[in-house]
Structure 1
Amino acid sequence: MSFTAQDVKALRESTGAGMMDCKKALQENDGDMEAAKQFLREKGLAASAKRDDRDNNQGLVAIKVDGNVGAIVQLKSETDFVAGSDQFKDEADALVDLVMAKGADAIAERSAELEELKITLKEKIELGDVVQFAAADGNTIGHYEHVQGGRGVNGVLVEMSGASDELAHDVAVHIAFARPKYLTRDEVPADVVEAERATLEQITINEGKPEQAVPKIVEGRLNGFFKDICLLEQPYAKDDKQSVQQIIGDASIIRFHQTEIG
């Protein structure tokens, strides 16, 4: 027995199950609507829609680098128990391999497998960050993965020009633990800077500083703000007497990406 898109929609509305779940149920039962409903109930799929409002701040970060191409995939789950399961890890590996080979947009090719995983593991499982770096000729991809409980929880990719593999790796390690938001202060949005400036002005005034001294104090504190969030200005993690800019010397950081769980 065949079925139509309207049948899938009707089954979804009557059971609350996901679209892919309903399509699979109809396929498995030759389009028989009542049998498909029973299939969904028996598999616990009819309740899957109720998972949509659950928190899923667990999961893992899969990272892979091969030559001048690197990829990161964040796969999110509700519990660390599920995140540590072999099925979950295998799917993350398959996803990052796909992104390595075809780019971030190719992730859609595994939508059916992701729906199946959600059904099997009975949690709200979804993709977070999906990134591919394809470095320009002569550039270097550095990476770092922090593993906790047998799974990646903090992954970094960085593309550099004029850098050795060792330097690129060291910069990736720094990023993992210093968590910069921007490469340079020029990249910080103007509204973010102005909001911070206003906050610092109010703090300085509340401290009772002389009015004429407030602008200079605020500028000094704003420089500290930039040192916190801008990669090139941050004190280097392994030698805080030097900035990242000083450590890399004549090399350049082209771009970076960091993804964390939690």
Structure 2
Amino acid sequence: MKEVTMSVVTAATVKELRERSGAGMMDCKTALAETNGDLEAAVDWLRSKGLAAAAKKSSRTAAEGLVGVATSGTKGAVVEVNSETDFVAKNEQFQDFVRNVTQVALETGADSADALLAATYPAGGTVQDALTNNVATIGENQNVRRVKLLNVNEGAVVSYVHNAAATGLGKIGVLVALESSAGADVLEPLGKQIAMHIAAAFPLALNGEGLDANTIARERAIAEEKAAESGKPADVVAKMVDGAIAKYRKENALLSQLFVMDGKTPVAEVVAAAGREAGATITLTDYARFQLGEGIEKKETDFAAEVAAAVGGA
């Protein structure tokens, strides 16, 4: 094992690795030492040794603000707007802004943050102008981070908000696109259930083929290292690796995930069964899932240390 030094391993990185992996403190120290302090590589090292579960997805990342959703028949929009503190997320002015911006995205078809910021805001000026005013009057930095639009030719785009702060606003926003000639009485409840599944199960793609190639390569490398330690023949190891990747694809693709409502039926079959019952084909064509702060590392501060430093420098 490499020598563990504070330049490579700090209490903060050990703490973060423990939170992300669920592994023990000494295992986390070893992993960081073996990977020269690279947090992502340390997670992979722990997994390859069977010392950690799959890296936690977005639940450990954080940023404040709100996710807004809006739908109108065959189209829907989901937007994430960030703020510095949760207090701002509870501010009526901020909530109105997120609600309005989401509606602007839906009505204008602005499909990127830049396009949305350049769009006309209901009260006049651009969305960027309204955002600048928000920052000035609320006194806290804010930004329109991302937007996604879904459309179907016929059918419905259905929305769901988890941990709702107000109507159409919350911590997790989901859209589900259902292409079908079936009526809203069929598509709305079906879409809502699937959206709730998506919020809980966090699929990474619609189907197995849609999973990110780099992610699959990373999972394969981990599976290969883990299987190689079994000491079994090469052909058996190869089958173990293929099996692990097939399992990963199945568990992380929406259509093949087991529906959270019953824990046994693939989502694709849930959709097909609803179509048979309605007498019309229903196709789940796309989805969107925005979780507040997903992929953003929020800087943690030591308030006591800040105060001490301020006093010392006075």
TM-score, length-scaled by structure 2: 0.61
Give 1:180 shift. Answer: 0.9
Within 1, Cα distance between the matches of 2:128 and 2:88? 19
Q: Name the residue aligned to 1:181.
A: 204
Partner of 1:71: 77
Residues 61 and 152, structure 1, Cα contact 8 Å, conserved in 2: yes
- In structure 1, C-alpha distance between the alignment counterparts of 2:138 and 2:211, rounded to whole Å: 40
SS at match of 1:168: helix
Mean Cα deviation higher: 203-212 or 152-161: 203-212
Q: In structure 2, how many angstroms separate the alpha carbons of the residues matched to 1:60 and 1:91?
A: 10
| Consecutive unaligned residues in structure 2, runs of 5 or more | 1-60, 119-125, 273-280, 294-314
4+ runs of 1 displaced by more than 4 Å?
Answer: 148-151
Work out whether residues 256 and 268 of structure 2, in 8 Å CA contact, stay in contact via their aligned partners in 1. yes
Superposed, which structure 2 residues align to 1:17-96 within 5 Å?
A: 57-96=63-102
Q: Which residue of 2 aligns with 1:38?
A: none
Hey, which of these two has a bigger chunk of strand by percent?
1
Please give the alpha-carbon distance, in whole angstroms, between the structure 2 residues aligned to 1:82 and 1:235: 37
1:155 pairs with one of 153, 167, 173: 173
Contact 1:63 1:71 in 2 (8 A): yes
Q: Using the aligned pairs only, state the percent identity.
A: 29
Q: Which residue of 2 aligns with 1:124?
A: 141
Alpha-carbon distance, 1:106 to partner: 4.3
User: Within 2, Cα distance between the matches of 1:117 and 1:235?
Assistant: 43
> TM-score, normalization: structure 1?
0.73
The answer to which structure has the higher helix fraction is: 1
CA distance in 2, matches of 1:81, 1:231: 34
TM-fit CA distance, 1:84: 0.9
Larger radius of gyration: 1
**Which is further off, 83-92 or 189-198?**
189-198
1:171 aligns with 2:177: no
Residue correspondences, number: 207
Change (3 A) 1:78 1:56: farther
Q: 1:224 aligns with which of 247, 255, 261?
A: 247
Counterpart residue number, 2:122: none
In structure 1, what is the Cα distance between the partners aligned to 2:200 and 2:212? 23
